[in-house]
Structure 1
């Protein structure tokens, strides 16, 4: 507090320095983490639908870009740790990269700003390259920012505690974890709601600028809150980069081993022992502990390959389902909140109930066994996802067979029966327009013979009014629908849309604005524009394809299994890694753990990029099978792993060094021999 102490009552000063036994500075850090996680997860929840619905990318490209972004978010923590440890220190690194992060969120929000003039007739932005370029720049900056501060914020919070405050420090990390989950949960509820709001200057569109803008604002708040606590923080200078030392030692050992490949040099017990010529035994021993754990990390990316598809493939699956759950209308991207809710519920239940019951049964449920079970549960979640997908394909994406018609007759009172012999094209839907005994037309322009993809709703307009019509629906223009002709189908998301009719045939006194039906998911409609007796237009709606019937609630079992897998895999994995690492190498293992998440997303990127699996259920089965195979391999590796206590090993080194170091040594000159005599 320094000079400010002269202006405060000592009691008030003491309160400012410590609140309820905690340094006041940690409250700024917790609020910062809540806002940052709200910003990240809120933005991330929207991405897959932003790619598919705004950019009109296909599912595979959208999935590939999504997982590229997530992979970058988990690669950049290594860079953040290097900057903090070797150059700027934690505080300056957090501030600098948070500025980058905030700019990235703002650029992403700006990339989604649009208006009617920005779109072609299919609802795709005319200046799409500009939107894409801005979006990719924004996401790149976000990846650098969120990944760069990830290894710094929690550690910086831990730095705020004094010796003897271990209890408060442990509680801080619990509060910190709660802030992460609270930010994630609230944001994945709020931002999808903001997305479906209508906004625009001249037209009403899905409000991506607002949905991305709120996370950008929260990130700015996170930055300001963190800076506001600056004078209260304990800041430490960079202590050197331990990851660099580890890399140099490993590199020297490998280089030295290959330099002495001849039989003249005896074999050494461990390949890292080839670094003994340059590095001390303690460091080599510590790196051995780390590499032993790192070896177990090799199979782990496959778990993350499945886990992170909750935000991509599972969200896309939800778009093909019915979001009406009881009184709630659930958006596809809101289903991700199931994971956040279950995490908050499951963690205390597993810790307080499940593990103690397993222990009472006499089963030695070691950390590696827990992680194996977690991988198995994640694999089973994808089996359930495959079953749900089969149900969707069976009930929703079926082909609509046409009855073979032998004849159609049109009749009206006082008129003779008119036989109709239309040329129906087999396997397609048809609309027969009739406006008199001898006046009819078969409309089959871009007819649908299956459900619209991605849970969208196909809508076309038929002009039975006369003249020529332009129709604007939710900002998308249908041009030149001539008399007794139909437009092509255009596709819209869930909800109610605004419709505007434009024609020289409409009298000025008539209302030309209408509201659509409340669209569900995966339906198709034909709107027929007819003329009322007063000459004003009327919209008549006909359901071509019924909306989806498979409910999003069927996804809950797969989310439940995945969350259970996460609890026993992720939480246990971090605990295991820390328990098996020496005190000065925990950051190295943290970087290694985050690297497995990045590699897992790269695996999804490769599979989605290849795009060779046409059936989605088959892709789910493939991922489930791969993780199950990896689970078996990991179980075998775990069987041969020997648990260690790094503290005991380091204590042994301390004792050995103490024994080697002479005590009470002094020297004097022997007067007789004039030689140096050493005495103990």
Structure 2
């Protein structure tokens, strides 16, 4: 490098005495610094400039914003606490096999997260986010009330045996209740986070700074972690399914004892008879002496999670009165145009325009086709699909994460619970607990 500069200095000195490559480089660098300083000063003087944004202090959260965060805390408290008891309730109270329980759990997750796209469409195209939340909350509560009632003796034909033994309706009511709750939850889910951000707009309708929104969602997920930790940690103790938990308040439900198969009285009665049909006095004495099965699910769902759900929704409705919410009206949905483009791409429609060579070229060919959106919208949809590819690995993560509720519970139930030091219904609390440090550090003001 030094030899090259010396040779360049020699050539320049021969042509223009006193001029060297080093002096030219120094002069160029000084000129660039001057231009940068002038431009930086000019940009910094403009209102709303990038410089102003980076140096801007975080906007304080409004009361309305705090109320919506509380609603999210209570809703996640209810969701995870209710869901974490599904494993033991389905297998011990509804007589589901492990495979049937896994199918149910996939159904429940699909409806809870799949109906979000329907809720987003309704909010964008018809009702707006505020009205969608207001209409979905009673649906959510109604499904939870049905779930609670179905877990009481009212839902069992011959309490405390399986509901299908004598005309009980707890089994179909359980499926109906979780479906109704999933629809209510799914409709709320895509609306509430954006609705919270809308409460931070200034008097001119401008959105909050990126730094403010970042802080909002750090606290948002911290509340989810707190709700997802406290509720599921306490719920198994109230359900009566753990040795250290609350005793059964209504009735007792026994399993066949370990030596029941050796007792002649128990022939053709065990295993499972103690849960399927009422035993005779002799069978009850000699066969049904095993561990009890918790029956207090109605107590957890009715007296632990339902009051929290009612409380946070009451706070939400009160907040609409005072201090009031910034509620943006429905402005139309792009979902119809998006599916129209996808269908056009699948049919390989061609508007005659040459491809620009960018990814997803089939969208470029749709420009100019009758009935398709304008060219700018087509480019935006294509950009959205390209950037959304980052979410593909997330599918693998949530696939693995959901196994804690399904196969993880099925493996834990005969293994860890026998040891007496851990309840299988409390496994998922480790997920929320492990999320505390990162969320806390990110939410601390810098």
TM-score range, shorter chain: 0.5 to 0.7
Select 1:332's aligned residue among 424, 429, 435: 424
Select 2:367's aligned residue among 266, 273, 276: 276
RMSD of aligned alpha carbons: 2.9
**2:124 is aligned with 1:90:** no
**2:363 is aligned with 1:290:** no
Select 1:301's aligned residue among 391, 395, 407: 395
CA deviations on 1:244-263 (whole Å, 9 max, x unpaired) are: 222223334444x3477xxx
Q: Distance in 1 between matches of 2:157 and 2:66?
A: 44
Q: Secondary structure at the match of 1:198?
A: coil
Q: Secondary structure at the match of 1:81?
A: helix
Query: Where do 1:405-484 residues align within 5 Å?
Result: none
State the aligned residue count: 326
The equivalent residue for 1:179 is 223
Q: CA 1:346 to 1:27, structure 2 compared with 1: closer, same or farther past 3 Å?
A: closer
Contact persistence 1:115–1:200 (CA under 8 A): no
Return the offset for 1:170. 2.6
Q: Which has the higher strand share?
A: 1
Return the offset for 1:174. 1.3
Return the offset for 1:272. 0.5
CA deviations on 1:194-250 (whole Å, 9 max, x unpaired) are: 111334455575201011212222211121111010031001100110222222233
Select 2:405's aligned residue among 307, 311, 314: 311
Comparing 278-287 and 141-150, the one that deviates more = 278-287
Q: Which residues of structure 1 form unaligned runs of 5+?
A: 1-19, 353-680
Select 1:219's aligned residue among 271, 295, 309: 309
Contact persistence 1:120–1:126 (CA under 8 A): no
Q: Which has the higher helix share?
A: 2
Q: Distance in 2 between matches of 1:38 and 1:271?
A: 44
TM-score (norm 2): 0.67
Q: Distance in 2 between matches of 1:299 and 1:50?
A: 32
Select 1:77's aligned residue among 116, 122, 144: 116
**2:430 is aligned with 1:341:** no
Contact persistence 1:94–1:149 (CA under 8 A): yes
CA deviations on 1:594-641 (whole Å, 9 max, x unpaired) are: xxxxxxxxxxxxxxxxxxxxxxxxxxxxxxxxxxxxxxxxxxxxxxxx
Structure with bigger gyration radius: 1
Q: Distance in 1 between matches of 2:342 and 2:215?
A: 36
CA deviations on 1:488-530 (whole Å, 9 max, x unpaired) are: xxxxxxxxxxxxxxxxxxxxxxxxxxxxxxxxxxxxxxxxxxx
CA deviations on 1:451-477 (whole Å, 9 max, x unpaired) are: xxxxxxxxxxxxxxxxxxxxxxxxxxx
Q: CA 1:272 to 1:211, structure 2 compared with 1: closer, same or farther past 3 Å?
A: same
CA deviations on 1:260-286 (whole Å, 9 max, x unpaired) are: 7xxxx6763411012211433321211
Q: CA 1:154 to 1:285, structure 2 compared with 1: closer, same or farther past 3 Å?
A: same
**2:247 is aligned with 1:198:** yes
Return the offset for 1:133. 1.0
Q: Distance in 1 between matches of 2:398 and 2:436?
A: 20
Query: Where do 1:250-265 residues align within 5 Å?
Result: 250-255=342-347, 257-258=348-349
Contact persistence 2:350–2:366 (CA under 8 A): no
Q: Which has the higher contact order (CA 8 A, sep 6+)?
A: 2
